[in-house]
Amino acid sequence: MNLSKKTQIFYGLGVSYAIVDQIFAQWILYFYLPTESSGLKPIMAPIFISIALAISRIVDMITDPTVGYISDKINTRWGRRIPFIAVGSIPLGLATVAFFYPPVGNEIVTFIYLAVVGSLFFTFYTIVGAPYNALIPEIGKTMEERLDLSTWQSVFRLLYTAIAMIIPGQLIEMIGKGDPVFGIRGMVIILSIVASLGGYITVFGVSEKNYSKGETSKISFKETMKLIISDKNFIYYLFGLLFFFIGFNVLRATMNYYVEDIMGYGKKQITIASAILFGMSALFFYPTNKLSKKIGYRKVMLGCLGLLTIFTLMLFLLGKIIPVSFGFILFGLIGIPVAGGAFIFPPAMLSEISSRITAKTGNKIEGICFGIQGFFLKMAFMFSILILPLILVLGGTTGVATKYGIYGTALFSAISFMIAFFFYYKYKEN
């Protein structure tokens, strides 16, 4: 049975968990470790923030391959992947909101709270995200169908991420009316509801059993891991992905700091900067997609990483050699390679890799492939969130972000993109 356009769109709408992904990346650190001009108070020492979030990432690293492996092994009346999305979507939204209601007054209690909430957040994120991505090779039987599903996922991921970057500033001012804490909490609640509802569009809109035979993996976890580790191209892909997202996570997490502290604007201008970045991504989504079909993912990805390295180094020069008025143009330029590197390539490339491994071995192990990708994505988040607070306070003594530290994040991101370039250069598509 061929995939209908309606099914492809309903599948794409389910990537709404990208909203809470963006909330975590852009607002958690900003809420717990604010600047002096933000109107917020630091909640606890930077080192405690880093350790708490690192603990939650370690928990998450265990759940990623575990959830993927379990989804490869089970088969229900609703399919192998859909039940996980149904179970995890609401708890994921609740865990996101919980981040912004920490107990204050006792730093140890706050530390434990952040570690526990973070662990729950990433666990439910995996329960939703890994099976959702594994639906691509599960219901897409040809390269064309898998590419179409990846494309629709990328379209809606771009849309959801743009919403989560563009709308918050306006929601905070509208809801908070001068109270940034109340405004941020209201913004998070609204966006978390939207994120949860999107998951159920896929749950009720995609009839997995109509497209999948429900074949399960017959080999053990140890045997599965041996198959995956022996695939060199998969390893190169994973490490390229890791360093790309380390750089990208640091870059997008510091947008607020750049707009407010380097460029000297307010929270409304954060919205403008985000709109420019993702507007340019949207414009270059289709050309990137078409170019990839002609020359392959690898060459385009290498080009994206080259451009990101150049533009990130230019960000380091903003306010020094490059006038701050050029900042918005620079965010637009960054958006061009982000269209491919962050959105189009990860689901499309791994769908082909997992389908090739399945065809070669005769075992349906797409779930654990995407679970392992999730492991590397979370490892990228863990490393970036571990190092970012320490970079941001460089050169300061008051425990708040400094301009010296903000510039340091640009250099760090550029180095990460260079390392990613090396691994994708080693990756062979055929």
- DSSP string covering 83-104: HHHHHHHHHHHHHHHHTT----
Residue with tokens 């995407």: 370
Q: What tokens appear for 85 in the block?
A: 């999305």
Cα torsion 280, 258, 243, 346: sign: negative
CA 262 to CA 260: how far, in whole Å? 6
Residues 122, 56 contacting (CB under 8 angstroms): yes
CA 61 to CA 347: how far, in whole Å? 19
Using left for φ > 0, alpha for ψ between -120 and 50, and beta otherwise, residue 296 falls in: left
Q: How many CB atoms lie within 10 A of CB 307?
A: 18
Q: What is the DSSP letter of 4?
A: P
Burial classification of residue 36, based on how many CB atoms lie within 10 Å of its CB (0-12 exposed, 13-18 middle, 19 or more buried):
exposed
Residues 6 or more apart in contact with residue 359 via CB below 8 angstroms: none
Residue with tokens 């970079």: 391
CA 28 to CA 426: how far, in whole Å? 35
CA 195 to CA 199: how far, in whole Å? 7
Q: 346: closest CA among 253, 248, 413, 252?
A: 248
User: What ranges make up the beta strands (E) of 278-349?
Assistant: none
C-alpha to C-alpha distances, 375 to 60, 200, 219, 378, nearest whole angstrom: 7, 24, 21, 5
- Residue type for 284, please? F
* Full pLDDT tens readout for the chain, 430 residues: 678 889 999 999 999 999 998 898 888 888 888 876 667 787 888 888 889 988 987 888 888 888 888 888 888 888 889 999 999 999 999 999 999 999 988 889 999 999 999 999 999 998 999 899 989 888 888 777 887 888 889 889 888 987 887 788 889 889 988 888 889 999 999 999 999 999 999 999 998 888 877 677 777 878 888 888 888 889 999 999 999 999 998 998 888 889 988 998 887 788 788 788 878 988 888 888 788 878 877 898 999 999 999 999 999 999 999 999 899 999 999 999 998 888 778 887 888 888 788 777 777 788 888 888 888 887 887 788 788 888 998 887 666 888 999 999 999 999 999 999 999 999 987 6
For residue 413, what pLDDT is reported?
96
Name the pTM for this structure.
0.76
Residues 369, 64 contacting (CB under 8 angstroms): no
In degrees and rounded to multiples of 5, residue 322 shows phi and psi of -90, 130
Residue with tokens 């999305």: 85
For residue 58, what pLDDT is reported?
85
